[in-house]
Chains A and B, each alone.
Chain A
Amino acid sequence: MRWKKTDYTGWGRALHASAEIARPERLSALKALLADAPAPAIGQLRSYGDAALNTGGRAIDMTRLDRILGFDAETGVVEVEAGAKIGDLGRIFAARGWIPPVMPGTGFATVGGCIANDVHGKNHHVVGSFGQHVTEITLLQGDKPRKLTPDKTKVLFKATVGGLGQTGVIASAKIQLMPCKGDMMVLTERRVDGWEEFLSVLENSRADYNVGWIDATAKGVNLGRGILEEGEITSGVSPTKGKARDVPFNAPHWALSAPVVRMFNEVYFRRVPAGGRTTVKPISAPFFPLDAIHNWNRLYGKRGFHQFQCVVPMDQAPALRQMLDLIANSGLASPLAVLKRMGDGRAGYMSFPMEGYTLAVDFPNRSGARVLIGNLERMTEDAGGRIYFAKDALSGPDRVATMYPEHGDWLKAVAKADPDGAMITDLVRRLNLRNTK
């Protein structure tokens, strides 16, 4: 198996790495690689920061191991190789009445990546996190496969789910799919005029899927205005498929400058009629709104961008309002800002979710934004919240670990699973998650 010297980045394109990457196409090739020299696995590089980067080291690209290994139409349990894209599973099975219970905002994320970050979807308040629906993981430690289940191998399972690849390479997994009516979604969009109203509509929403888009440029009385999207899966026929578009080049830096974003947000907000509207769409549209434009991350130019995402406990909503105020007044926000009510569902020691509110905002990679994000992190910490490894690119050593109360349990399990630190990535080094510094 050849190793390819590759320069690559996370989705935010702000952090770079140069590493040797192998891309096995068969399980036997993967095992041979790992027997020779264990290295961290990477998926579709949809994490924004450096979760999948390994500067000066090696990494194993899992994207060619993407097959469906079995499906039980009685129980709805599907077994897949870790490189399978979650959106493909959604597409294949929704038409047959089953759907992955949890899908993140991009269909390109691999099953391995969904497990390693224990991702959440727009229905987290109803079904919990991805790992809660994983019934078995086949983990390779060296070339030895181990079957992990939530009850028989509890510790290693909990260290692997949300474990950032540190326990070994996930070769395949079984996922309990959820019955669904079909592959269409009834989507209701409503304008929300301000912060307090947003909290209350999120609280009162009875929809399976909901998410709030926030105009992070709106200040004063308009602070926290946005659009509440609520969705329910249904059946129906879909019109002809839209073709994906591509952003072929880096956009100039003014493409997402403050006046452009303010204008865009105004239009986006008014696009939904004052009285709201309901439409029916193929599920991929509301699940993965940005996937229709390939390489949209190039819109931020070659310096890239950052996404800040935190979650704070319910009673810390005022702290979140303060953060939004700071963001709105900085003039640095991009159109992408999302507010969601989160449940307490999580499946791993290092899983992100906690009961409360989560806010995610994109910023172009400039010094002002980096300072702002630093402040937002501090405010998150003070509020007893956490920031999300799948998005973080800026935090410093030891800071984040303290936001994760079960870090100690994870550390113990990982030290045992990977005593030589072969699976350490740039993110783990930067945040000193394995206490190696």
Chain B
Amino acid sequence: MNEAWIILGATSSMARAFARTVAARGDAVFLAGRDLEDLNATRHDCTAHGARLAEVVTFDARKPEGFAAIIDRLEREDGLINAVVFVGSMPEQSAIDADPGLIDGTVTDSFTGPARLLQMIAPLIEARGGGTVVGVGSVAGDRGRIGNYVYGAAKAGFHTYLSGLRNRLTRSGGHVVTVKPGFVDTAMTWGIEGMFLVAAPQKVAEDILKAVEKKRNVIYTPFFWRYIMLIIRSIPEPIFKKMSI
């Protein structure tokens, strides 16, 4: 059956790598984001890589009034509709400390904005009896740390949302994959001290597609982050609270 992907946050390098990977399968891609010039470049790239169809749609996590138009477009597309969420924002924790108002935007970008749109896409998946939602969260959502706990909290909320959505969609043949990437070699991590075992976006994209094909529920990428996070989660709170990692 024809498959189409709505890719939210399609300007990120991970999203771009993923778009290329599904384009090469001949799928349709809807590239959603704010930087239309950049999305347009990716649209051409997807076409050249073999996408059956590639289109740009405007998506701003903070402007839900634009969501209906996206749903309209998806409804007109037949076949299975898949959605993948790469959006999120991570202001420096110090910036948030200085301006707590930044919390709202961080939570909207990383959790409630995309969740709101997924909530509108869910009926489409139910009606068609299939389709996959991929939510890219973060290992930062597994435990709150001094360095980025607002972003972490937003992603933790998103993880819980995805788990609930999985519980819902599975009843009608849909599926939800929660992806928790470790450090990925993107503009977000470029030049930040203390990065290790940084994965290429292409590697993450391939891991995600594999997880979709195998209907995995929750994946860490690269896989060893599952064990790193297992250890981090198992540190008792009295000790953890004194650590700075």
A residues contacting B by CB (< 8 A) are: 1-5, 22-29, 64, 67-71, 78-79, 81, 92
- How close is B205's CB to chain A, nearest CB, in angstroms? 14
Contact: B191 with A67, CB < 8 Å?
no
Contact call A68/B38, Cβ cutoff below 8 A? no
B35 within 8 A of A: yes
Q: Is the CB of B192 within 8 A of A26?
A: no
Docked-complex contact A68 and B45, CB < 8 angstroms: yes
Contact A23 B187 (CB under 8 A): yes
Q: In whole Å, how far is B53's beta carbon from the nearest beta carbon of chain A? A: 16
* Beta-carbon contact of A68 and B48 below 8 Å: yes
B132 within 8 A of A: no
What is the minimal beta-carbon distance from B113 to any residue of chain A, in angstroms? 21
Q: Which residues does chain B contribute within 8 Å of A69, judged by CB atoms?
A: 41, 44-45
Cα(A27)–Cα(B39), bound, Å: 11
- Could you tell me the distance between the alpha carbons of A202 and B11 in the complex, rounded to whole angstroms? 49
Residue of A nearest to B187 (CB): A25
Q: Which of A2, A28, A92 contacts B35 (CB 8 A)?
A: A28
How far in angstroms is the closest Cβ of chain A from B95?
Answer: 15
Q: Shortest CB–CB separation between residue B56 and chain A, in angstroms?
A: 13
Bin the interface of chain B by size.
Answer: 10 to 19
Q: Mark B181-194, 1 if CB is under 8 A from A, else 0.
A: 00000110011100
Question: Is B37 close to A, CB under 8 A?
Answer: yes
Whether A29 contacts B45 by the Cβ 8 Å rule is no
B35 adjacent to A71 (CB under 8 Å): no
Query: Is the beta-carbon distance between A29 and B187 smaller than 8 angstroms?
Result: yes
Verify A3–B35 contact, CB threshold 8 A.
Answer: no
Known contacts A2-B192, A25-B186, A25-B187, A64 near B13 by CB under 8 Å: yes
Give the chain B neighbours of A25 by CB distance below 8 A.
11-13, 16, 186-187
Q: Are B190 and A4 in contact (CB under 8 A)?
A: yes
- The 8 Å CB contact of B48, one of A3, A22, A29, A71, is A71
Q: Does B168 contact A (CB under 8 A)?
A: no
Contact assessment for B48 and A92 in the assembled complex, using a CB-CB cutoff below 8 Å = yes
Q: Mark B1-28, 1 if CB is under 8 A from A, else 0.
A: 0000000000111001000000000000
Instruction: Please indicate the chain A residues that have their CB under 8 angstroms from the CB of B12 in the complex.
Output: 25
A-B contact pairs, 19 of them (CB 8 A): A1-B187, A2-B190, A2-B192, A3-B191, A4-B191, A5-B191, A23-B190, A25-B13, A26-B11, A27-B41, A28-B38, A68-B45, A68-B48, A70-B44, A71-B44, A71-B48, A79-B44, A81-B41, A92-B48
